[in-house]
Amino acid sequence: MARVTVEDCIDKVDNRFELVLLASHRSRMISSGSPLTIDRDNDKNPVVALREIADEMVQPDDLKEDLIHSLQKYVEVDEPEAEVVPLVASSAAESDDDSDPSFDRISEEDLLKALEGLVPPEKTEEI
């Protein structure tokens, strides 16, 4: 039965290697619980998969896309472009502008003075 089925499938899938890949993928799908599109007739899953391809109950292009998707480890997702975020006041001319109250502005010298004035915490004995 399988040999006749393979010969029937060559009309739908030209390359025999690709036919084997598609039929084995469909066979695994059937094993994992995918519904059958034809009667089983006491056949095993690979033969059922070949008969489905031969009877055009499943499309080879759909099987191929599903096979490729199942083998992908990284799926590229189209994400929106990142918005350009303006830099925080980097010049002295912008330091006088107080229109944005959410950012504190400090000069480099004031920052260095504040860092030098910090005292390290006292060491305590760990138990």
CATH code (residue 67): 3.90.940.10
Please write the tens of the pLDDT for every residue from 56-68: 899 999 999 999 9
Question: Is residue 80 assigned to a domain?
Answer: no
Instruction: Please check the confidence at residue 91 and state whether its pLDDT lies above 60.
Output: no
State the amino acid at position 26 in one-letter form: R
pLDDT at position 24, please?
94
Q: Which residue has the tokens 């000069």?
A: 107
Instruction: Please check the confidence at residue 31 and state whether its pLDDT lies above 60.
Output: yes
In percent, how much of the chain has pLDDT > 90? 35
Question: Is residue 29 assigned to a domain?
Answer: yes
The overall pTM is greater than 0.85: no
pLDDT at position 17, please?
93
Question: Is residue 7 assigned to a domain?
Answer: yes
Q: How many domains does the chain have?
A: 1
What one-character-per-residue DSSP string does 2-65 give? Answer: HHHHHHHHTTT-S-HHHHHHHHHHHHHHHHTTPPPSS--TT--HHHHHHHHHHTTSS-HHHHHH
* Domain of residue 58, residue span: 2-71
pLDDT at position 45, please?
92
